[in-house]
Every structure is written in structure tokens, then in C-alpha cells.
Structure 1
Amino acid sequence: MLVVALLTYAATRVVSGVLIARAARSQVPIGWTGDPVDYWGMTLMWDGTWYRRIAENGYPVPIPVDAAGVTQQNEWAFYPLFPGLARGLMAVTGLEFRYAGAVLATILGAAAAVLLVVLLRRHVSDGVAVLAMAVWATYLASPVLQIAYTESLAMLLLVAFLLLLEQERWWGAVAVALLIGLSRPIAVPLGLVALVAVVLRWRRRAQRPVGRGEWVGMLATPVGCGIAGFVWPAVVWWVTGQRDGYTDTMAAWRAGHEITPFVPWWTNAQYFFHDRALVVLVVYTLALLLLALGPWARPLGWVMRTWMLAYPLYLFAVQDPGTSLYRYLLLLFPAAVLGVGATLRVTVSTVVRAAALVGLGVALQVWWTQEILVLHLPASWPP
């Protein structure tokens, strides 16, 4: 079944690759892509070029500021594990980053897809697990899984972390959490997931007593997530000597150079929905709660269901609404299982739903690659 999963994932990447190559014909040559623009140039779009700079030149010290002392956009906003791995691949193979970054992302994405099936098989049938993976792998922003972005690495580590929690391998989960802390800023919501896993284990202590060593591992897991959530800001402070270097750098991408939790969502809701803004936000919140807590989600177990709630809450708190959300939602993979149907056997309904979602995902990828991945001068929304 894992071979089937790998072949299925490979097919999805071929489809996305064709769409990326097609989008290259719409991209005017810019510094990111080179001239002429080809598939490999498209893999360096947007964040891909930031990761190339890190892999080739490292991080700037001191943090760049303008004449008024305001922090400018710079490499410290981007976590080091992916460009570090790419740099290692470049050293071993002699490849340029334009190839190494894309190849690395594709390999990591394949590993994530296989491990995702391993995780899902604990809750649904083998066939349903593969179908859900196919839906996830054809999601509208899934082309980022094969370009120089961190989604494939983050997905691999996320699935590994959740699997280790379900297996109650606490110290392994701590190690993966620390790696996550060097790859993407998602360790904090994972702390809530870890806490739920610990509570679930504690509630089963009558059937399986918890030894002293396991207690230590259980307590270390949410603590490790907390440490992982602050390890990169601490590294930025240590290297640059600027205590708020990371937050100032992140603010450089925000309107007004300021990070204000939750407020941008309310502001945007008011702009688009006016007096109905509060109603819209309440409806979206209730829909998310219903999706994660309804009876259809019960087969997923509380670890994945908690992630379905913790991650959107985290995005709501720290991210401004925008087109990058399409990409961020790629990590909300349990939704793909619910879309297919979390069942213990494949039915005609399961196949039809999966086929419809795959078709919809591919169709939306056409739009995403043409309108979001491509930079439409003079300005464009980022992926």
C-alpha cells in the first residue's frame, strides 16, 4: 500500500509540475527567475529566492534597517532548517540552489505523503488513507510541495510529530518538535496537541500504569513544544544581539510595521461584510468547531482533531488574512480525510467524493499557479 501511496503522490506532482511549467509562460523574466523563465525559475518565486539567499550567503548581521532605523524585510524571517538541508545537498551534489531546493522539497513531500498514509491507516482503511492523501496532494496550493518552500518539510515533521504522539513515544516527539522549531513557526499550537495527548494517556493510567520515566517524557513533550516555539527568535537575538530582532523582522512584512493579534481579521471582516462582520466570523468559528468535533470526525482521534482546532486558532491570532493562507492551510490535512469520509472501508461514495475533490483541487491549481504563483507586475499577492 505504501508503494501505491508513493506512486499516487508522484502522479500528483507530475500534474502540478505541468501547471507550474505552464505558468512559466505567463511570468515575465525577473531577477528571481532568470531569462528565459522555465520550470526551475518558477521554483524560486517569492520565498524561494529568500531561501536561496540563505543557502548561498547565510543570514545578515546586523539586521538591515533603513535611514530612519526601521527594520527592513530580511532573511531572518525564514527558518533555517530547509535552506540548511538544501545547502548540504548542494555541497554533496554540486547542484545550484534552483535545482537543489526543488529536488529537496519534492523528496521531502514524497516522504510526508507516505508517512501521512501511515498515520491515517491507524484510523481509516488503507484505501481511504491513500484517497485522502491524494486529495491533500492536489489541494490548490499543493504546487508548493515541489518548489523551494518549506511546506513539504513542515508537513513531514508535523505528521511525524502527530504519529509519535499517538504512539506515545514522548521523547521522539520532543526531538521532532525541536526540529519543527527550526523549520516553521507552528510549534506553539502543537503544544496544545501534545497536552491533549498527555491528558489522554493520564486518563488511561488505570489500565496501563504510567511509570516514572514515562511521566518525565509526558511532561517534557508540551514543554519541548514551548521551547521549540521560541528557539528561533532566541537564535536571532543571540546572533544579532537584537532582542526583538525576529519580531521586528516579521513586522516588516505587515502594514504599519506592526503585529497586532486578531485585529486584522476583524478589520478585513468589517471591510468586506460591513455590519455582518461579527456574524460571519461567528459562523466560520462554529463551522470549524462542527467540522472537528462532529461525529464524522470521531475516527480521527483527539490528536488530529485537536490539531484541526489549534492550528486555525493560531493562524487567526498571528497571521494577517491574505493569499498566503491558501498555502498555510495545506497543513490542515485532516480536512482531506473528512472530505473523503473517515471510514473503515472504501465505498462508491468514498471514491466519488475523492475524485470530485481531486478534480476540484487540480482546477483550482490552474488558477493558483497563474494568479498567485506568477508575479503580475507592478504588484501582486504572494503565495
Structure 2
Amino acid sequence: MSQSTALLPAPATERGDGGCARPSRATVAGPVLAVGAFAAARLTGMVCVALVSHLTHQDAFRLLGRSWDSRWYTGIAAHGYGRTLFFEPGVVQSDLAFFPLYPGLVRAVATVLPLGYGAAALLLSWLAAGAAAWGVYAIGERLHGRRTGTFLVLLWALMPHSVVLSLAYTEPVLTALAAWSLYAVLSGRWLWAGTLAALAGLARPNGFAVAAAVCVTAAYEIVVRIKGRAPALEAPRKVPHSLWKLGGLRRVCAGAALAPLGWAAYVLYVGIRKGDPLHGYFAVQRGWGSTFDFGAGSLAFVKHLLRDGDKLVFSMTLVIVAGALLLFALLVADRAPLPLVVYTGVLVLITVGGSGFFESKPRFLLPAFPLLLPLALAMTRARPNSAHLVVCALAGLSLAYGTYLVTTAHMPL
């Protein structure tokens, strides 16, 4: 097997009457426990937000479903694209900066169900967060076992900025599509991987990271297959190996071809609307102050932060980004599977190398759940009391800081 599939234990199954394989209780209990723990963590976070909102005379529903970017998404869902806000010279905020999958789904849900756009957006985000938690668990479990998968989900649910997973934002949708696309790559399901990557590319600008992971891994897989060293999938019985190898290559190529289509299609669409097919979308992003400057803007802000100090949110952002860089180094050192390294590396590169809203960088890193694999492995190997202590400490930090972000900080997330 190739590097991308060598770390994949077969799912646990047991034989029932008639000889048909069926999932074992352990197979079913693992994801149920992990998603249940995730739901409990996020529900507790929302209760904290609701309590503080009540005490401070704020509307919790508005804070969760109609704040900052949520208003742009629900506006697109309700009225389509076409809203532009003009500020000082050079600052032009167009709704074309927001990718269409999430507002399209919000509109569909609001059309089918008796819900307003804000409620539909929250419902979608919460369901996507649950699907993402399941996908995160599935990857952790297949690579390192049930315990690691559960810890991986818990760590992801209890990051200081994981409150975003309870808001009407696109990060849950992107993470769900990314996790299951990466799982499909790891298990050799290339058409599924490419299709989910294409949808991820329609969800957010940094959804391109999923396509990059699929394409780079596909290139590696093609080289391995052509050289004939170790095919990723075993040929079925009664099928000549040469034909199986050719069919497998076609699926790998098809998955890689599908992966970038969603992201490329929307960027091209915006470019055509702006009269510049190749650069129009990036001009829209520049209007928001978002460019890729290889970290120059971020470095200048960090210097200001270290020299002069600033708000708590900025200091926490610096700590979170620095921690992400360290965790990425550990992920590479642990020789994680190629698709996880590429996906996470692209997300980290976009976050660190991009300028714009510095306080939003933790949110951009939220889909980079493979960063937490080294910590999940360490907790798996630690004594239970030590692991429980870490979980409790993270829960306290996450609930307190997440509630502060939503109810008190009043800054764009």
C-alpha cells in the first residue's frame, strides 16, 4: 500500500446470520460518543453565551445568528449578490467576497422549512458542525484508534475560538467537507474525495486547501502506480492486475480533476462579473484589505502588539497562531499522512501569509483540525487523570474566552 493508505486499519466488523458483515457495537459507539461529547461542549458554550447575554441585556439569537459575516451570508441568501459598502478610499466591501455554497443552502432551508434566514443559517451550521465532528473522529480513529479519535474531537471542540462553531459561519461547513474529503483520500475513494473537495472550494476561499491536498496526494499516487512499486488498492479477484491498475489511475485522475472545480468556478465567475476573469476576485478581496503578502502585514502588526500592547483578542490571536506553527512542525515531525500535511500546511500558510483582519486568524485556522493530532496522541498515551485535567482546563478556557468573544469583545470574528 502507498503512504497515504498504509495507516488505515480496517473498520471493526462482526459477522451476523447469513455471513454478512455488519458494524460492531464498538464501531457504532465510537462516533456516537465523540459526536455526543462535541455536542455537549458546544451546547454548554451556547448556554454560557445565553446567560451572559441575558445578564447584559443582549439578544443571544442575534449574537449567534446575525453578527458580522453572518449578516452578509443571510443577506446573500435573501437577496442574492449585489451589496457593496464604501468606506474610506480603497476600502470597498463587496458581498462577492463570500463564496456561494453556504448562503445557497441557507436559502434552500429557509424555503423548505418555516424558518427565517438567521435560524436556517444556525441550523445548517450546527448540523455541519456535527458532521465535521464525525469526520474528524473518523480520521483520528482510522489513523490511531478510537481513543485518539475521541480526544481529537474534544480538542477541536474546546479550542479557545471554537465558539465560532456555534455561530452562523461557514467554518463548520468547510470542516465537514474537508474532513470527509480527506477521509475519502485516505481510504482510496478518489471520486468522493474530488467531489467533496469541489464543494469545499465553494464554501470558503481557503477551501482551496482541500483541493490542494487531493491533487498533491493524487500526483504522488500516480507516480507510485506508474512505477508499480505499491498500488494503493488491491485488485479484486478475477480482474487482471493491469486492468485494475489502469482503472485505479483513472479514478485518481478524475478525483484530482474534480477537486479544484468549485473554487476555480467561483473565482472565475466573480472575475467575469468584475470584467477581469483572472484577477477580479482578488481585487474584491483587496477591497476588504485582504491580500497575500507573505506575512509582512501580520509581522508589522505583531511588532506593534509586542511594543505597544493592544486588546486581549489580538494577544490571544498571536498565541493561537504561534501555537499553530508549533503544532504544524510536530505534525510534520510525526510523519502524518501526506494529504493531512498538505491540507494543514496550506491553511497555515494562508493564515500566516495573508494580511487583513488579524483577529480573524484563529477562525481561519479552525478547519485545520489535523494540527491537534500530536496533542490527541499525547493525551492517548498519558494517564487518564492527566488527560482529564487537560480537557477540564481547555473547557474552562474555551467557555470563558468564547463567551467573551461573542458577548463582550464586540470585534469581527
TM-score, scaled to structure 2? 0.76
1:174, 1:225 within 8 Å by CA — same for their partners in 2? yes
User: Could you tell me how far apart the structure 1 residues matched to 2:256 and 2:129 are?
Assistant: 26
User: Could you tell me how far apart the structure 2 residues matched to 1:317 and 1:134 are?
Assistant: 28
User: Could you tell me how far apart the structure 1 residues matched to 2:170 and 2:252 are?
Assistant: 28
Distance 1:354 1:216, change over 3 A: farther
Equivalent in the alignment of 1:311: 347
1:92 Cα deviation after fit: 0.9
1:24 aligns with 2:21: no
1:72 Cα deviation after fit: 2.1
Equivalent in the alignment of 2:270: 236
Structure 1 residues 164-179: aligned runs within 5 Å = 164-179=184-199
1:215 aligns with 2:244: no
SS in 1 for 2:131: helix
CA RMSD of aligned residues (A): 3.1
2:201, 2:263 within 8 Å by CA — same for their partners in 1? yes
Equivalent in the alignment of 1:2: 31
Equivalent in the alignment of 1:197: 217
1:83 Cα deviation after fit: 1.2
Equivalent in the alignment of 2:293: 260
1:271 to 304, 310, 323: 304
User: Could you tell me how far apart the structure 2 residues matched to 1:130 and 1:118 are?
Assistant: 9
Equivalent in the alignment of 1:105: 125
SS in 2 for 1:149: coil
User: Could you tell me how far apart the structure 2 residues matched to 1:293 and 1:41 are?
Assistant: 38
2:80 aligned partner, one-letter code: G
1:246 aligns with 2:246: no
User: Could you tell me how far apart the structure 1 residues matched to 2:112 and 2:325 are?
Assistant: 50
1:149 Cα deviation after fit: 0.3
User: Could you tell me how far apart the structure 1 residues matched to 2:127 and 2:42 are?
Assistant: 11
Equivalent in the alignment of 1:381: 411
Equivalent in the alignment of 1:32: none
Equivalent in the alignment of 1:292: 331
User: Could you tell me how far apart the structure 1 residues matched to 2:49 and 2:111 are?
Assistant: 27
User: Could you tell me how far apart the structure 2 residues matched to 1:183 and 1:3 are?
Assistant: 26
User: Could you tell me how far apart the structure 1 residues matched to 2:343 and 2:223 are?
Assistant: 19
Give the fraction of aligned pairs with identical amino acids, expressed as a percent.
22
1:182 Cα deviation after fit: 0.9
1:46 aligns with 2:76: no
1:231 aligned partner, one-letter code: A
- Equivalent residue pairs, number: 356
1:112, 1:156 within 8 Å by CA — same for their partners in 2? yes
Distance 1:89 1:229, change over 3 A: closer
Equivalent in the alignment of 1:144: 164
1:301 Cα deviation after fit: 2.4
Unmatched 5+ stretches in structure 1: 29-35, 275-279
2:38, 2:133 within 8 Å by CA — same for their partners in 1? yes
User: Could you tell me how far apart the structure 2 residues matched to 1:85 and 1:367 are?
Assistant: 30
Cα deviations by residue, 1:161-183 (Å, 9 ceiling, x for unpaired)? 10111112222222112111110
2:362 to 303, 306, 326: 326
User: Could you tell me how far apart the structure 1 residues matched to 2:282 and 2:392 are?
Assistant: 38
Unmatched 5+ stretches in structure 2: 1-29, 232-240, 308-318
Cα deviations by residue, 1:200-256 (Å, 9 ceiling, x for unpaired)? 4633633336723332332344444444432222122344545444223222221xx
User: Could you tell me how far apart the structure 2 residues matched to 1:285 and 1:111 are?
Assistant: 23
Equivalent in the alignment of 1:337: 373
2:152, 2:372 within 8 Å by CA — same for their partners in 1? yes
2:224 aligned partner, one-letter code: R
SS in 2 for 1:215: helix
1:132, 1:354 within 8 Å by CA — same for their partners in 2? no
1:340, 1:354 within 8 Å by CA — same for their partners in 2? no
Q: Which moved more, 1:230-239 or 1:209-218?
A: 209-218
Distance 1:342 1:163, change over 3 A: farther
1:203 aligned partner, one-letter code: V
1:138 aligned partner, one-letter code: L
Structure 1 residues 58-97: aligned runs within 5 Å = 58-60=80-82, 72-97=92-117
User: Could you tell me how far apart the structure 2 residues matched to 1:82 and 1:3 are?
Assistant: 26
1:24, 1:42 within 8 Å by CA — same for their partners in 2? no
SS in 2 for 1:121: helix
1:145 Cα deviation after fit: 1.5
1:354 Cα deviation after fit: 5.4
